[in-house]
Amino acid sequence: MFKKILIANRGEIACRVIKTARRMGIATVAVYSDADARAPFVRMADEAVHIGPSPASESYLIADKIIAAAKQTGADAVHPGYGFLSERTSFAEALAKEGIAFVGPPVNAIAAMGDKIESKKLAKAAGVNVVPGFVGEIEDTEHAVRISNEIGYPVMMKASAGGGGKGMRLAYNEKDVREGFEATKREGLNSFGDDRVFIEKFILNPRHIEIQILGDQHGNILYLNERECSIQRRHQKVVEEAPSPFVTPKMRKAMGEQCVALSRAVGYYSAGTVELIVSGADPTGESFYFLEMNTRLQVEHPVTEAITGIDLVEQMIRVAAGEKLSMTQDDIKIDGWAIENRVYAEDPYRGFLPSTGRLVRYNPPVDGWTDDGAENGRRGVDGIRVDDGVYEGGEVSMFYDPMIAKLITWGQTRDEAADKQIAALDSFEIEGLGHNIDFVSAIMQHPRFRSGELTTGFIAEEYPEGFHGAATSDETKANIAAVAGFIATARADRARQVDGQLADPLDAPAEWSVKIGDRRFEVSLVGEDITVDGAPVDLVMEYTPGDRLVEAEVNGEVLGIKIEPTRNGLKMTTRGAIHLVEILPSRLARLTQHMIEKVPPDLSKFLICPMPGLLVALHVAEGDKVEAGQPLAVVEAMKMENILRAEKSATVKKVNAAAGESLAVDAVILELE
């Protein structure tokens, strides 16, 4: 067995590998950039080596620096995690020349499956179903248009070396191809150093199913069931679960055996994932097609660990050390259900714009990296697991992926796992930047998600006008109002006790007018009795002025509520929705109807940068006439390009920025008239 492993990665996956290596008695080495000098994975490792500036292209993507660090520290193996160098054949070859083991598959398998174009050719030759498309070299945009017209719309343009949702564009017509082809090439080049693109038919009502493969160097290859990853945004996975609510035992066996055969054809060993696309319109479940094989560990591997009880990182290390698998296919079972939500630094209330900055407050529902035993390590504590690589006071940098953490829950049933997600998300505290906690909570509650009727178009179909918070019933609003009234009374009592600020009229009984959205509730507290609009309420909760998070049971409904004071009330966030709650003494509330409403200024004449980023392209100049929907500029942030379009027909009056400039959020790019 290895004595020391270097982790050629960062963030939560580096922490993940370190935890398993530590349990196995193996020393670890972290490598880090300037941006990660104080990151948790650096502190967790036994040793740490600085490898360069913050951009990945100057640190984590420089193989020579990684190898030098391994030699310097005497590491006899390198685990690449995912992304960065994990699927670079040149990196694995360079390690082999230095006598350093690569904790991953053989070079020939990486080469065969790592290139999406070549892997499709191999899969087709092996008799595996592949999606119709063009797998040769595409010369330019005009060539891309001709190919797309021949295949038939919609088509998907993909960077050949892409992954993680980057370098992908869906085109419904020729205009989309012309607008998106060059952007796809640029994203492929910027993220993976390869600007080749291929085009394939987009399957309607598609479900994204993937099979986890595990093999050793002695010819044993197993499939560890499937994961469903259909809920995606911009082709980036958001929710993953195992098993899939769509896959039958017969389908699972057929998929698994086909994926094992493909793996065997390329001499695969270590952990890997074969990704398939399944037509949700086919009730037999037999219409599944090969998409690609990821020759590495997947971000969503914890859900497989939760239902199988197998530590995939441990198995990767043992396989790399030459050990045989200790289990057979008959040993692979499905125990319960697991769901993973990716907590991203993005603002769903503002069109999912990337959000960078300091984590002023970071308090996950459970600690992700305590040594709490093998079973808890795979399923967390009470079925809740958090894999993260951030810390309170640290920054989410513009240089790397926007994922803050992964929240994994396990239950005996799918509904139990989803319910645990909702409760854990309610208690997950993040302040200082935008995040998608409310959004994934809303998905967990959505009737369509609960029914299992999923496709990769779920988010676009269910939130066509964007996300504005989870739907909240009138009953839940009334329960929130009861909590707000209880808090208002506690705060009033506290204020009176401090220095007599409040006079007798606000002594108990306390009567409050609580406005939530367009609903107003009259809340009254007399001793331990509380009513909302005259109806008695059964409320159990504890609150001390200053608490940021409370748990309340109101008429049998359990609510975890994050609290933030506002000028005239509270910002109360629970169950995937933000409620701006106005709280006034009832006698004063009647006077507010006479106040003049302040109208916000009209900003539609400005093109405003919605996030910190790089202005990649500016398509217009002063004096140009533009039409509604016309692309005006392209801003790159978090490795993704964002097209900014005109909201209405106008003329460009003034241009305030130039391509190549770094822009702050709310910077005015140009002015229209």
Mean pLDDT over 647-670 rounds to 90
Same domain membership, residue 187 and residue 215: no
The pLDDT of residue 507 is 55
- Tell me which of 639 and 62 has the higher pLDDT: 62
Statement: residue 567 has pLDDT above 60: yes
Statement: residue 490 has pLDDT above 60: yes
End position of a domain, from candidates 418, 442, 468? 468
Tell whether 121 is covered by a domain.
no
Query: Which helix (DSSP H) or strand (DSSP E) does residue 585 occupy?
Result: strand 577-585
Mean pLDDT over 98-110 rounds to 97
Band (pLDDT 50/70/90 cuts) for residue 116 is confident
Nearest-angstrom CA–CA distance, 104 and 114? 13
Amino acid identity of residue 487, one-letter, is: I
Band (pLDDT 50/70/90 cuts) for residue 63 is very high
Statement: residue 222 has pLDDT above 60: yes
Q: Residue 563, SS3?
A: strand
Statement: residue 78 has pLDDT above 80: yes
**Residue 480: how many other CB atoms lie within 10 Å:** 27
End position of a domain, from candidates 468, 503, 524? 468
Mean pLDDT over 555-579 rounds to 95
Mean pLDDT over 178-199 rounds to 86
Nearest-angstrom CA–CA distance, 9 and 430? 24
The pLDDT of residue 590 is 59
The pLDDT of residue 506 is 46
Band (pLDDT 50/70/90 cuts) for residue 665 is confident
- Tens-place pLDDT, residues 431-478: 999 999 999 999 999 999 999 999 999 999 999 999 999 999 999 999
Model pTM greater than 0.95? no
- Tell me which of 529 and 76 has the higher pLDDT: 76
Statement: residue 495 has pLDDT above 80: no
Question: Which of 80-84, 356-360, 614-618 is the most confident on average?
Answer: 80-84
Helices 141-151 & 174-192 angle (0-180, nearest 10): 120
Statement: residue 318 has pLDDT above 90: yes
CATH of the domain at 149: 3.30.1490.20
Same domain membership, residue 312 and residue 248: yes
Band (pLDDT 50/70/90 cuts) for residue 420 is very high
Total domains present in the chain: 6
Mean pLDDT over 592-618 rounds to 77
Question: Which residues touch 555 (CB under 8 Å, ≥6 apart)?
Answer: 475, 479, 537, 538, 539
Using the structure block, give the residue that is written with the tokens 């880090």: 32
Tell whether 112 is covered by a domain.
no
Average pLDDT, the chain: 90
Same domain membership, residue 197 and residue 162: yes
Amino acid identity of residue 478, one-letter, is: A
Helices 11-23 & 312-320 angle (0-180, nearest 10): 70
Same domain membership, residue 508 and residue 395: no
Same domain membership, residue 311 and residue 353: no
Same domain membership, residue 273 and residue 177: no
Total residue count of the chain as it appears in this document: 673
Contact of 579 with 441, CB cutoff 8 Å? no
Question: Which residues touch 486 (CB under 8 Å, ≥6 apart)?
Answer: 525, 530, 539, 541, 543, 552
Question: For 242, what's the count of Cα atoms within 13 Å in the CB-facing half-sphere?
Answer: 24
The pLDDT of residue 264 is 93
Q: Which of 96, 91, 342 is nearest to 237 (CA)?
A: 342
Mean pLDDT over 33-56 rounds to 97
Question: Which residues touch 315 (CB under 8 Å, ≥6 apart)?
Answer: 214, 271, 325
Same domain membership, residue 614 and residue 560: no
Amino acid identity of residue 181, one-letter, is: F
Tell whether 149 is covered by a domain.
yes
The pLDDT of residue 501 is 53
The pLDDT of residue 588 is 66
- Residue 89: phi, psi to the nearest 5? -60, -35
Tokens of 378: 């795979």
CATH of the domain at 15: 3.40.50.20
The pLDDT of residue 593 is 59
CATH of the domain at 422: 3.30.470.20
Nearest-angstrom CA–CA distance, 64 and 287? 44
Tell whether 40 is covered by a domain.
yes
Q: Which of 292, 340, 395, 641 is catalytic?
A: 292
The strand pairing partners of 671, in sequence order, are 606, 654
Mean pLDDT over 478-486 rounds to 96
End position of a domain, from candidates 201, 216, 245? 201
Band (pLDDT 50/70/90 cuts) for residue 119 is confident
Q: Which of 563, 71, 19 is nearest to 313 (CA)?
A: 19
Mean pLDDT over 374-390 rounds to 84
- Tell me which of 46 and 399 has the higher pLDDT: 46
Tell whether 116 is covered by a domain.
no
Tell whether 513 is covered by a domain.
yes
Q: Which long-range contacts (CB under 8 A, 24 or more apart) does 202-206 make?
A: 202/153, 202/154, 202/155, 202/156, 202/170, 203/131, 203/277, 203/279, 203/289, 204/279, 204/281, 205/279, 205/280, 205/281, 205/455, 205/457, 206/230, 206/277, 206/278, 206/279, 206/280, 206/455, 206/456, 206/457
Structure letter (DSSP) for residue 248: -
- Tell me which of 508 and 495 has the higher pLDDT: 495
Nearest-angstrom CA–CA distance, 331 and 224? 10
Using the structure block, give the residue that is written with the tokens 């130039």: 658
Tell whether 120 is covered by a domain.
no
Considering the chain, what percentage of its residues have pLDDT values greater than 70? Answer: 92
The strand pairing partners of 672, in sequence order, are 652
Mean pLDDT over 74-89 rounds to 96
Nearest-angstrom CA–CA distance, 653 and 673? 6
Same domain membership, residue 664 and residue 553: no
Tell whether 110 is covered by a domain.
no
Same domain membership, residue 550 and residue 584: yes
Same domain membership, residue 531 and residue 507: yes
Mean pLDDT over 346-373 rounds to 85
- Tell me which of 89 and 129 has the higher pLDDT: 89
Contact of 294 with 208, CB cutoff 8 Å? no
Band (pLDDT 50/70/90 cuts) for residue 510 is confident
Contact of 182 with 215, CB cutoff 8 Å? no
CATH of the domain at 656: 2.40.50.100
Statement: residue 120 has pLDDT above 60: yes
In the chain the first and final C-alpha atoms are separated, in Å, by 69
Contact of 291 with 203, CB cutoff 8 Å? no
Q: Residue 483, SS3?
A: helix
Statement: residue 293 has pLDDT above 50: yes
Active site residue 187: no
Domain that holds residue 78: 4-103
Same domain membership, residue 612 and residue 506: no
Same domain membership, residue 460 and residue 359: yes
